[in-house]
Amino acid sequence: MQKNSGSPGNLIDEKLDHPPVLVMGSNFIYQDTSLSNGKICKVIMAVKEKKEFERKPAYWIQVKRERDRYFDIYDMNLNWIGASEDGKELESAEPCIRVFDWPLKVGKKWNSDYISRQSSEGFRPSRSKISVKIRTYEEVTVPAGTFKTLRFQAGEETFWYAPSIGWAVKEEIESNGKAEWLLELVNYRIPQR
């Protein structure tokens, strides 16, 4: 269920002028659904530490999905910059995949140009670009509850960012105009600061 107020004043009271500071020990538990085959699995994302990645301060978020265990790495603006497993870099994006461009406001749009490197391709640089737009303010209901969010469109991905928890509560990915994948927040825990 989604409600669109169109007006930020009565929907989102939180400030949107700068990124949140993630709290170490925070956990976000998601239900990951493949819409093409109906397969469902649990994904746990835990904010483990703040340390450098490629000479940049970064949040290291441990991801557990079925048998996979790895770290997604985000810059201080919550933009993805890499992934690591067992102390080895899996992939990276330089300077980042910029899906957040602070301050946030409905209607804002930008392009993120980046160079991607993947271990599976010998870290050969590959230029990429993604267009991002903040579509609207809306309430979205997921298994973890109802949240006041900003709905972003980033290429074929749509995600709902909830300033109250400083993280996405829902994501959808389309392929050829058809929904393929859905991630919804089931539970979360943010320790007291």
pLDDT in tens, 133-164: 999 999 999 999 999 999 999 999 999 999 99
Angle, vertex CA 94, rays to CA 53 and CA 61, nearest 5: 40
For residue 121, is pLDDT > 90?
A: no
For residue 5, is pLDDT > 50?
A: no
For residue 177 the two structure tokens come to 């105009």
For residue 52 the two structure tokens come to 């450098």
Average pLDDT on 104-128 reads: 92
The count of domains in the chain is 1
pLDDT number for residue 167: 97
Query: What is the end-to-end Cα distance of the chain in Å, rounded?
Result: 31
pLDDT number for residue 10: 46
Let me know: does 153 contact 133? Beta carbons within 8 Å. Answer: yes
Q: Where are the beta strands (DSSP E) in the chain?
A: 2-3, 27-34, 40-53, 56-65, 68-75, 80-85, 88-97, 109-118, 126-142, 145-154, 157-162, 167-175, 178-189
pLDDT in tens, 44-97: 999 999 999 989 999 999 999 999 999 999 999 999 999 999 989 999 999 999
**Domain of 81, in residue numbers:** 2-189
Cα separation, 166 vs 171, in Å, equals 15
pLDDT number for residue 14: 54
Q: What is the CATH number of the domain that holds 79?
A: 2.40.360
> Model's pTM, two decimal places?
0.89
